[in-house]
Amino acid sequence: MKPFLIILALVWSTPAFAHGFAGSGIIHPLTGLDHMLAMVAVGAWSAQLGGAALWRVPVAFLFAMLVGGAVGMVGLAVGGMEATIASSVLLLGVAITWARPVALPVALTATLAFGFAHGHAHGAEMPLSISPALYVLGFLLTTAGLHVIGLVGAALIIERGPSGMRLLRGAGGVAAIIGSVMLLA
């Protein structure tokens, strides 16, 4: 059933012009470094946290993204979304670099705020010529895929032991630096 929905979304989607690139809801999360870094970082952080965070953190992001997307689609302006998106890259990078246990409610709260902001940006930039349901399905599927890439990639790196953890923390540091630059730009 899922492959059918993906094919259906690809066939029926028309170009969206998000971040200066044409594409559907499936493409939108891939057209901005801010979105890609944050979404991969959510997966990596969830792998680092382990336990229930492995699935709850990415699912919370997706749920909040859905809500934020709906708010953006109906045209409700919410201030500070671009700063929150840049902050999500910075703070997720810091969390990965810090590599300390974080209480699940704290991780979920942060992830919900970040997911809402990313979803709002996607929803607000949806072209009127696109089916809202297919657009949302597209950006949720791509986001979930980016979460899985971050989660699996981080898990494989962590598995390498101390050198892997240093590598992952270094990648978090790079994300934090990029997030800082985005926030200051």
- For residue 10, what pLDDT band results from cuts at 50, 70 and 90? very low
Tell me how far apart the alpha carbons of residues 125 and 75 are, in angstroms, rounded to a whole number: 10
Mean pLDDT, range 84-111, rounded to an integer = 97
Please give the Cα distance from 149 to 47 (Å, whole number).
Answer: 11
Query: Which residues, 6+ apart, have CB-to-CB distance to 59 below 8 Å?
Result: none
Q: Is residue 8 part of a domain?
A: no
- What's the domain count of the chain? 1
Q: How confident is the model at residue 13 (pLDDT cuts 50, 70, 90)?
A: very low
Burial class (CB in 10 A: 0-12, 13-18, 19+), 105: exposed
In a domain, 113, yes or no: yes
Average pLDDT, integer, range 83-94 = 97
Q: For position 2, what pLDDT does the model report?
A: 52
Residue span of the structural domain in which 100 resides: 25-184
Does residue 48 contact residue 104 with C-beta atoms inside 8 Å? no
Question: pLDDT tens digit string along 33-47?
Answer: 999 999 999 999 999
If one counts every other C-beta atom within 10 angstroms of the C-beta of residue 48, the result is: 28
Within-domain flag for 2: no
**In-domain check, residue 7:** no
Which of 17-26, 29-38, 143-152 shows the highest mean pLDDT?
143-152
